[in-house]
Amino acid sequence: MYAARRFAVRHARFFERLYNRFEALMVALDPLFARLGYDRLERPVAFIERAIKGFLFDCKMCGQCVLSSTGMACPMNCPKNLRNGPCGGVREDGSCEVRPEMRCVWLEAWEGAARMPRGLERIAIVQPPVDRALAGSSSWLRVAREKAAERRRAMAPPEPTAVSPPERARSTLAKAFRRARRLAPSAAPLAAEPEAALADQAVEETTSVFESPTRQPPHQESGEGRGGENGGGEDRRAKHRGASAP
């Protein structure tokens, strides 16, 4: 298996293309897997995955395969299970400090990543810690389920914007009492009016907070009219005095 593992690293680009096509096939089969049941398929698919990946990559079935990010070299083959680079004990000849007969897994991973398109970018991505609860499970099925769910979310129409409860309450009250909105309030509203309610208010109907467009300012009112009113009052009083005189 060690020889097959090093063969896979030397041909990392070929195995990456093969894996990408296989992943697309697994994602396309998601409706069938969902109908049959992922839980029901877990054991047989994990058995096949262990046999194939165990021979080619000496896979340890961690359930979180990152071969495409580590140059087709399984980092779980490291005796310390390091998933983000080598330790400080790599020997001068590139062999492992724990198993001197084996070349450092991360040196193999770097060489394999250099043979893959964008492999050196992906190998720089920090991998999360291993979830031991997923050990022995099929990463093929997990990736197929997750990729299919992402595709469905991307194709789903956007959800309508939710209206907050206060805004909904104000809109409901404004629509229920349309006539009351036309009465002048004694002060400015404490909260902003909802746009749906403002749209129902006519342009010429304004509240007392604003000046009415048809009302003339006080300085434009005619003083002559006011004087006329006073003059009319004096005439009436003079006539009254004339009528009461002997």
Q: In angstroms, what CA-CA distances link 158 with 16, 85, 144, 153, 167?
A: 34, 41, 24, 9, 21
- How far apart (Å, rounded) are the C-alpha atoms in residues 97 and 101? 9
> How many structural domains are present in the chain?
1
Q: What is the pLDDT averaged over residues 42-61? A: 94
Residue 210, domain member (yes or no): no
176 close to 199: Cβ distance less than 8 angstroms: no
Residue 223, domain member (yes or no): no
- Residue range 58-73, pLDDT digits in tens: 999 999 999 999 999 9
Tokens at 76, concatenated: 């779980």
Residue 111, domain member (yes or no): yes
**43: alpha, beta or left, given left = phi > 0 and alpha = psi -120 to 50?**
alpha
Residue 182, domain member (yes or no): no
Question: Which one has a higher pLDDT value, 109 or 196?
Answer: 109
Residue 146, domain member (yes or no): yes
Q: How confident is the model at residue 2 (pLDDT cuts 50, 70, 90)?
A: confident
CB atoms within 10 A of CB 76: 22
Average pLDDT along the chain:
78
CB atoms within 10 A of CB 40: 10
Q: What is the pLDDT of residue 181?
A: 53
Tokens at 59, concatenated: 């896979």
- Residue range 103-125, pLDDT digits in tens: 999 999 999 999 999 999 999 99
Residue 134, domain member (yes or no): yes
Q: What share of the chain has pLDDT > 70, as a percent?
A: 64
Spatial CA neighbour of 56 closest among 101, 22, 30: 22
Which range of residues forms the domain containing residue 13? Answer: 2-155
Buried b / exposed e across 122-155, counting CB within 10 Å, b at 16+? ebeeeeeebeeeeeebbbbbbebbebbeeeeeee
Q: What is the pLDDT of residue 56?
A: 93
Q: What is the pLDDT of residue 61?
A: 94
User: Phi and psi at residue 124, in whole multiples of 5°?
Assistant: -80, -10
Residue 219, domain member (yes or no): no
Residue 66, domain member (yes or no): yes
- Residue range 171-188, pLDDT digits in tens: 665 666 665 555 545 444
Q: pTM of this prediction?
A: 0.60
